[in-house]
């Protein structure tokens, strides 16, 4: 699904109103219907027995809240509506909604942070509508301001919080928190989800996101070109290379995995097991000689072979053998459990310079790249997929300081011409064209050592089978997350391990094939 920016939403609204002649107040009424419906769903008992509040700004987001308050009042809810801001600043539509509310006998009250009875009402409600700011939030919510107090009250309240369009304080384009932000149970967002609801803190603060059609003509929405999307099952389906009925093990691609060190015997094995579970025909696993007997005993479906090592880590002398093996393979995964050191760095850089095949660079492979970004830049004519977590991303120059994960991922891929998989809650896959895909599968059970090794194996396997880099990367992330969800369903996020994720990969694949 497309993810929109604030300016794209404003432009869509403008086109609908000015070019298609749809009255803006009608859009607001439909937006309010969605918000009111969600509020009713969250009530613990029938509306007549419940209390509610709508905290409304003076902009059009506030107008949505004022209109929702009227609809909820008409359903029997005991509701009070508060204006956080000035009456003089109400937009024309918000003013009209204030009049309609007043006609029903409910006055829009001025929000007063010092009013203890107002506070007690909001804190004791069953449901609260957050309509302070929508996509018009343009600067941080100032500490000590009434807006800040309104956000704090909503977060302190025992009520279920329904955000109109976006949780107030969340930046629509980044998911960053501007000053402070509402923690919503549900967000009813209009027309399209916003980037800020899919990534960063906004992805958590939005609660359940429901997308509501408010009557913007479908052709306008279809025609909107978005550079960010969520990964959907249909995309993953196309990312899975078809399997020829008469194919043999050579047909489905060969993966070479290079990794491991004394102390890191699990990582390369997990990558190999994940690759084998994701469809490729053959998996070769090059590891330091010192741990080769361990891998040989562990691996059944993959073929481990020993490589020259020094002090338990791969030595630069391993280069020739790896290059020879890589030449016969369709994709290479480099990094799981390599460890760090001068010899490892030298080897990784040499391999990156020479390997022509698509490379998935992970973990200590990424760490080896730090300070040598020219080596990555020189691979722009070849496929390189980097899979860093935040720490590794920072080491290779990724800048997350602005709270804009998607923007940072996009800037990195545009600068270096690679595919970037920025791991974390809502992993982002960014490609050099500027497009970014946000993943929605996965759970906290994946936040365990070894999960990343599994992901690397899945991506390398898909690449070896002929998936495009973006399909392999974003599709692999989705499958890995979905396998994690299936593992958690069976074993809980506490009890599941990366091995369980490997075991669940076939079921995840089965859902989309």
Ligand X SMILES: NC(=O)C1=CN([C@@H]2O[C@H](COP(=O)(O)OP(=O)(O)OC[C@H]3O[C@@H](n4cnc5c(N)ncnc54)[C@H](O)[C@@H]3O)[C@@H](O)[C@H]2O)[C@@H](O)CC1
**Binds ligand X (CB under 6 A): choice among 108, 214, 290, 483:** 214
DSSP state of 312: T
| 215 annotated as ligand-binding | no
- State the pairing for strand pair 313-314/228-230: unpaired
**Burial track 426-454 (b if 16+ CB lie within 10 A, e otherwise):** bbbbbbbeebbbbbbbbbebbeeebbbbb
User: Would you give the end-to-end CA distance of the chain in angstroms?
Assistant: 20
Identify residues 136-165 at the interface with ligand X (CB under 6 A).
Answer: 136-141, 147, 164-165
137 binds, options K ion, ligand X, none, Cβ within 5 to 8 A by partner type: ligand X
Query: Closest approach of Cβ 61 to K ion, in Å?
Result: 5
Residue 364 as a binder of ligand X (CB under 6 A): the answer is no
Query: Judged by CB, which is closer to ligand X: 89, or 356?
Result: 89
Residue 171 as a binder of ligand X (CB under 6 A): the answer is no
Residue 134 as a binder of ligand X (CB under 6 A): the answer is yes
Residue 176 as a binder of ligand X (CB under 6 A): the answer is no
Q: Which helix (H) or strand (E) holds 10?
A: helix 6-14
Report which residue's Cβ sits closest to K ion: 168
Query: Closest approach of Cβ 114 to ligand X, in Å?
Result: 18
Backbone angles phi, psi at 254, to 5 degrees: -115, 135
Backbone angles phi, psi at 258, to 5 degrees: -120, 120
Residue 13 as a binder of ligand X (CB under 6 A): the answer is yes
The Cα–Cα gap between 191 and 134 comes to: 13
Strand partners, 190: 212
24 binds, options ligand X, K ion, none, Cβ within 5 to 8 A by partner type: ligand X
Query: Closest approach of Cβ 284 to K ion, in Å?
Result: 53
Residue 173 as a binder of ligand X (CB under 6 A): the answer is no
Contact assessment for residue 93 and residue 158, using Cβ atoms and an 8 Å cutoff: no
130 binds, options ligand X, K ion, none, Cβ within 5 to 8 A by partner type: K ion
Residue 56 as a binder of ligand X (CB under 6 A): the answer is no
Query: Judged by CB, which is closer to K ion: 164, or 470?
Result: 164
Among 133-141, 154-162, 234-242, 391-399, the segment contacting ligand X (CB under 6 A):
133-141
Backbone angles phi, psi at 436, to 5 degrees: -140, 140
Evaluate the CA torsion angle 168, 172, 178, 180 in order and state its sign.
positive
Backbone angles phi, psi at 183, to 5 degrees: -100, 100
192 binds, options K ion, ligand X, none, Cβ within 5 to 8 A by partner type: none
Contact assessment for residue 337 and residue 267, using Cβ atoms and an 8 Å cutoff: yes
Binding-site residues for K(+) sit at 61, 130, 168
* Binding positions for ligand X, rule: CB under 6 A: 13, 17, 24, 27-28, 31, 57-64, 89, 91, 133-141, 147, 164-165, 190, 214
Binding-site residues for (6S)-NADPHX sit at 60-64, 134-140, 165, 267, 337, 389, 453
């Amino acid at each position: 699904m497309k993810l929109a920016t604030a300016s794209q939403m404003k432009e869509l609204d403008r086109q609908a109103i000015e070019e298609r002649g749809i009255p803006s107040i009608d859009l607001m009424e439909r937006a309010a219907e969605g918000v009111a419906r969600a509020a009713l769903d969250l009530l613990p008992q029938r509306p007549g027995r419940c209390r509610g509040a709508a905290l409304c700004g003076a902009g059009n987001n506030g107008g949505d809240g004022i209109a929702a308050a009227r609809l909820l009042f008409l359903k029997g809810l005991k509701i009070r509506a508060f204006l956080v801001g000035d009456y003089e600043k109400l937009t024309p539509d918000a003013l009209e909604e204030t009049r309609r509310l007043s006609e029903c006998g409910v006055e829009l009250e001025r929000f007063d942070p010092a009013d203890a009875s107002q506070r007690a009402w909001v804190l004791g409600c069953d449901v609260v509508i957050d309509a302070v700011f929508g996509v018009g939030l343009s600067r941080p919510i100032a500490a000590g301001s009434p807006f800040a107090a309104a956000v704090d009250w909503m977060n302190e309240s025992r009520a279920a919080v329904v955000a109109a369009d976006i949780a107030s304080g969340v930046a629509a384009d980044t998911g960053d928190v501007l000053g402070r932000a509402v923690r919503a149970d549900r967000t009813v967002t209009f027309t399209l989800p916003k980037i800020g609801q899919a990534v960063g803190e906004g992805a958590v603060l939005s609660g359940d996101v429901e997308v509501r059609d408010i009557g913007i003509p479908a052709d306008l929405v279809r025609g909107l070109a978005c550079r960010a999307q969520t990964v959907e099952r249909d995309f993953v389906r196309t990312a899975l290379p078809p399997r020829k009925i008469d194919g043999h093990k050579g047909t489905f691609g060969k993966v070479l995995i290079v990794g491991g060190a004394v102390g890191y015997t699990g990582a390369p094995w997990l990558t190999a097991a994940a690759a084998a579970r994701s469809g490729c025909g053959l998996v070769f696993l090059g590891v330091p000689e010192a741990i080769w007997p361990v891998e040989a005993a562990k691996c059944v479906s993959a073929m481990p072979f020993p490589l020259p090592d020094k002090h338990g880590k791969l030595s630069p002398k391993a280069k020739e053998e790896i290059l020879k093996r890589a030449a016969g393979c369709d994709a290479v995964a480099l990094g799981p459990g390599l460890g760090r050191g001068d010899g490892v760095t030298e080897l990784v850089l040499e391999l990156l310079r020479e390997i022509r095949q698509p490379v998935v660079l992970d973990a200590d492979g990424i760490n080896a790249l730090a300070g040598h970004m020219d080596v990555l830049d020189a691979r722009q004519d070849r496929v390189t997929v980097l899979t860093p977590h935040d720490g590794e991303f920072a080491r290779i120059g990724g800048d997350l300081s602005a709270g804009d994960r998607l923007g940072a991922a996009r800037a990195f891929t545009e600068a270096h011409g690679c595919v970037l998989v920025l791991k974390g809650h809502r992993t982002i896959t960014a490609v050099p064209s500027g497009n970014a895909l946000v993943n929605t599968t996965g759970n906290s059970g994946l936040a365990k050592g070894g999960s990343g090794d599994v992901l690397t194996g899945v991506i390398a396997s898909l690449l070896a089978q002929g998936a495009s880099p973006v399909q392999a990367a974003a599709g692999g992330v989705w499958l890995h997350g979905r396998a994690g969800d299936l593992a958690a369903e069976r074993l809980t996020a506490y009890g599941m391990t990366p091995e369980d994720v490997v075991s669940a990969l076939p079921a995840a694949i089965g859902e989309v094939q």
